Structure 1
Amino acid sequence: MRRAPSPPPGPYVPPVPERELTAVSADGSRIHTELHGPEDAPAVVLAHGWVCSTAFWAPVLRALSADHRVILYDQRGHGRSPVPGPGGYSAEALADDLVAVVEAALPPGRRAVLAGHSMGAMTVMAAADRPMVRERAAAAVLCSTGASRLVERSRIVPLRSPRARARVHRLLLGSRAPMGPVTPLAKRLVRYVTMGPGTDPATVEVAARILHACPRVVRAEWGRVLADLELDARVRRLTTPTAVIVGTADRLTPPEHAHALAAALPHCTGLTELPGLGHMTPLEDPEAVTGVIRGLVEEYGTSRETDPPTSEARETDPPTSEAKEQTA
């Protein structure tokens, strides 16, 4: 199995999991899954983004795993999850994988907060109409993400023409060009594309190593899926209490995506904007992201066993609490 290069020492080193398992998705894809923290503690599921891996969540994981049962996994083709076969790249496949992980790692009757970053948050949105989300998700976090029009709204290439900008972004997403070693130039590019201008060098270093470890065929195939992503209808079906997080300097999924999500979600608990941060918010400010997750766990609870809601209740019950505005 592939392993990402070792990150610098400190909070970026992923802790040793209490248990590892392999979840088997609907098409037979094998999904590497890790379990951390006390087994009977409130549960949180973490889904990483495009060209990342479980290592991306290390600072958030370290903060949560002392008193939460944290489940995280490598998206198919990333980290230690094998590259999928032909036809294995789609939003539906992402949803299938999340369902498989929850069913494999979360005991029956238990609920969890589902937290996704970038493509991981798109995974949560893609799974919005799955029974698993309605029955097993206590709440959700959509972090640094968007539901549609990714190439049109991206601000990586500062061209004036929206059509030309979208065309260039589409080409970049689907590129199979090798990323090469992590050089000083590569780190400057990673900072520009994915992070705020004030990000410290150690954070840029770990992000660059994680991103460069992703196989280029996986990067390109998922990039093509993201270029044509259309999940607006799924967002309107995500009825679980959901928080939205965005960095104000995010070039990949600018804040207009977060505002659109907050307006479309049936039960948005708040929009948190992190000033000066880029796309990698869980790495750039793990305390803020952890705080939002903890807040949802405390308010909506996940550790007790619950009876799945009836279909009638799911369709007709009003939100359980008023939406609350969160600010950084």
Structure 2
Amino acid sequence: MAETSRGPAGRPDVRVLTVTSTGGARPHTEIHGPDDGPTVVLVHGWACRAAFWYPVLRPLVAAGHRVVVYDQRGHGDTPATPGSCSPEALADDLCAVLAATLEEGRRAVLVGHSMGAMTIVAAADRPLLRAHAAAALLCSTGMDRLADESTVLPLRPGRWCSGGQRAFLRTTLGYGPLAPLFRRLIHHITMGQGATRAQCDAVARMVRACPRRARGEWGTVLAGLDLADRVGQLDIPVALLQGEADRLTPPVHAHRIHGRLTRPDGFVRLPGVGHMTPIEATDTVVATAARLAKEQL
């Protein structure tokens, strides 16, 4: 079920929905573009929100696509549901959004970044996803060993490194003011050297605005995540996009995912690009999503 209202400033091409999901979650959902266009569903990652996708959304809508975005629980305009964060909750919310935005028989291309891509894989065995998903694009993500293989902290691989990465994911400490030091830290963690000041500032503001308790609870989920066995259940064409300078989910993850896919449909590696591929390599994300929509819808 969903409640619908008009878009910002009454724009006729934007509809806002509040979807009902499990555990009391009510994902804030937006539909942009023409109702008769091929549908692309964009799923954001940890500590981000639906607005993260706007640089990708705008050219897709301009090209005639119908684009759905939503805030994961505890992010953006979706209230937190303490104690209900899990891979199953991610899958529940995605399926609730698909049910609310796609009529029976209508399919979409799913595009997920980081935790958003994990969301798609978490729902791989759901009949509703199989009914509505025509193809998927997984950007900068991993399905297991996230704390063990992250290179965010400059430590040698091992127990201390893994422990430090887990502590980073789980912390509920505030990130402090939007000062130069914080910007440099966000740049190091999330982006490649070629990222612009404006891109870094946009990501820093978004991450800092994420409620810290929800961020910490989802980080705890990520620290122990293991969806390796579900990758092969995603029985649709799947494209991968990976920044080679990604520290949060280094390229080893993408290579392992690619080897587990049932129907791989492209693997693009981006030299010098960090974790935030939809911002750092917007044109590539748009082109890949549009190609999948053209071929599969």
Structure 1 runs, 4 residues or longer, greater than 4 Å off: none
- Distance change in 2, residues 1:181/1:16 (3 Å): farther
| Greater mean deviation of Cα atoms: 186-195 or 156-165 | 156-165
| Residue 81 (structure 1) aligned to one of 43, 55, 78 | 78
The Cα shift of 1:163 comes to: 1.7
The Cα shift of 1:106 comes to: 1.3
The residue number in structure 2 matching 1:72 is 69
The Cα shift of 1:164 comes to: 1.3
The Cα shift of 1:28 comes to: 2.6
The residue number in structure 2 matching 1:59 is 55
User: What amino acid does structure 2 have at the position aligned with 1:176?
Assistant: T
The residue number in structure 2 matching 1:186 is 182
The residue number in structure 2 matching 1:214 is 210
| Structure 1 portions without partners, runs of 5+ | 1-14, 302-328
SS of residue in 1 equivalent to 2:22: coil
User: What amino acid does structure 1 have at the position aligned with 2:49?
Assistant: S
| TM-score w.r.t. length of structure 2 | 0.94
Listed as ranges, the matches of 1:142-157 within 5 Å are 142-157=138-153
The Cα shift of 1:242 comes to: 0.4
Number of equivalences = 286
Q: Could you report, residue by residue, the CA deviation over 1:221-265 in whole angstroms, capped at 9, with x for unpaired residues?
A: 000000000001110111111001110000000001001111101
Q: Could you report, residue by residue, the CA deviation over 1:154-211 in whole angstroms, capped at 9, with x for unpaired residues?
A: 0011211422111100011001110122111111111000000111111001111111
CA distance in 1, matches of 2:153, 2:146: 13
The residue number in structure 2 matching 1:273 is 269
Listed as ranges, the matches of 1:112-131 within 5 Å are 112-131=108-127
| Residue 294 (structure 2) aligned to one of 288, 295, 298 | 298
Q: Does 1:99 align with 2:76?
A: no
The residue number in structure 2 matching 1:323 is none
Q: Does 1:141 align with 2:165?
A: no
User: What amino acid does structure 2 have at the position aligned with 1:48?
Assistant: H
CA contact (8 A) 2:148 2:157 kept: no
The residue number in structure 2 matching 1:50 is 46
CA contact (8 A) 2:74 2:214 kept: yes
The residue number in structure 2 matching 1:163 is 159
- Distance change in 2, residues 1:20/1:145 (3 Å): same
CA distance in 1, matches of 2:31, 2:14: 6
User: What amino acid does structure 1 have at the position aligned with 2:19?
Assistant: A
CA distance in 2, matches of 1:198, 1:187: 14
The Cα shift of 1:17 comes to: 6.1
SS of residue in 2 equivalent to 1:157: coil
User: What amino acid does structure 2 have at the position aligned with 1:29?
Assistant: A
The Cα shift of 1:16 comes to: 9.0
SS of residue in 2 equivalent to 1:84: coil
CA contact (8 A) 1:89 1:221 kept: yes
CA distance in 2, matches of 1:293, 1:189: 30
| TM-score w.r.t. length of structure 1 | 0.86
SS of residue in 1 equivalent to 2:109: strand
SS of residue in 2 equivalent to 1:65: helix
The residue number in structure 2 matching 1:224 is 220
CA contact (8 A) 1:37 1:70 kept: yes
Q: Could you report, residue by residue, the CA deviation over 1:56-107 in whole angstroms, capped at 9, with x for unpaired residues?
A: 1010011111210000000000000001132x10000000000000001112
The Cα shift of 1:27 comes to: 2.5
CA contact (8 A) 1:37 1:65 kept: yes
User: What do you get for the CA RMSD once the two structures are aligned?
Assistant: 1.1
The Cα shift of 1:108 comes to: 1.9
- Distance change in 2, residues 1:186/1:31 (3 Å): same
Identity of aligned residues (%): 52
CA contact (8 A) 1:17 1:34 kept: no
SS of residue in 2 equivalent to 1:71: strand
CA contact (8 A) 1:251 1:279 kept: yes
| Structure 2 portions without partners, runs of 5+ | 1-10
CA distance in 1, matches of 2:227, 2:180: 37
SS of residue in 2 equivalent to 1:299: helix
CA distance in 2, matches of 1:104, 1:27: 17
Listed as ranges, the matches of 1:254-269 within 5 Å are 254-269=250-265
